[in-house]
Amino acid sequence: MNQLNEYSKISEVAIRSPLSSFVNDEKITNEWASLRFHAKPDLKKAIIEYNYFRSFLEEDGIKIIELPSSDRLTLDSIYTRDSILVCDSGVILCNMGRSSRTPEAEENFKTLANKGYKIAGQIKSPGTLEGGDFIWIDNKNAAVGLGPRTNSEGIRQLKEILGPEIDLHIVDLPDPDHPDDVLHLMSIISPLDKDLAVIYKPFMPESFLKWLTKLGIEFVEVSEVEYPLMGCNILATAPRSIIMLENLPEIKNKLKNNGCKIRLYKGDEISRKGEGGPTCLTRPLIRY
């Protein structure tokens, strides 16, 4: 049975390389500023970073589904987490809150359909939902962020698809500095085990903290210094086996003290410039 959480061992994952998302220097030049990347990515450096990151997934024996390029996609398509959710009955196609990303769900599902995946549901306009705003805590409990990329109608449709047996906790997210910027739920929490999550407490509503505590989850807090450096965006490929960005010594030491096996990658081009960390770069499909 597929474990619906963010920390069990990943068996299969969908990713898209810089060669298939950034494509070439002309595309990067045309898009990076309008997509509000912090700076223009360097394609050659991005490929090196990505291959190193990908090697961690290979090291873990994870089956990798490579998502192809398409002229319908932007640079943001490297962040494969956002367009599709996974549930017991298949995948849920999101309707992205950023309109330039709308084609991603359909394009990504073409590949997944060929691998035997079925559609469990689809979020339709005027509903919006992005995968970075959704986390499974366990097979019966999940959380969704209500904010600039995921709206109330999208959450209503999601509840309908998941069914009444799932306790879906709605988290009110703070407004980002700019309406086109992204602040997903996974910007402020990364579950790493059944009883451990990294959080950025200033953005966590008290009701969400209480709900998680009742579920037996303890917290490791990211500081105000390391939060903007993506210190809260951490991928668990298995319980307490994590991938995170370099140059985050404070949270790294805290997690090491909590028994985490840590692997680091330099993500200046593929993560920090576009604000998409290791969770964003991956769409885990099967965990067990």
| In the chain, domain spans | 10-187+267-287
pLDDT, position 182 = 79
| Strand intervals (E) in 109-195 | 119-122, 134-138, 141-146, 167-172, 189-193
- Note the pLDDT tens digit of each residue in 190-209: 999 999 999 999 999 999 99
Contact partners, residue 88, CB within 8 Å, separation at least 6:
2, 4, 120, 139
Mean pLDDT of all residues in 7-22? 98
pLDDT, position 176 = 81
Q: Are strands 90-93 and 84-87 parallel, antiparallel or unpaired?
A: antiparallel
Q: What is the mean pLDDT of the chain?
A: 97
Structure tokens at 110: 């073409």
10-187+267-287 sits in which CATH class?
A: alpha beta
pTM over 0.95: yes
- pLDDT at 99 > cutoff 90: yes
pLDDT band at 177 (very low <50, low <70, confident <90, very high): confident
H/E segment holding residue 263: strand 261-265
- pLDDT at 17 > cutoff 90: yes
- Note the pLDDT tens digit of each residue in 43-95: 999 999 999 999 999 999 999 999 999 999 999 999 999 999 999 999 999 99
pLDDT, position 131 = 98
pLDDT, position 62 = 98
- Note the pLDDT tens digit of each residue in 102-133: 999 999 999 999 999 999 999 999 999 999 99
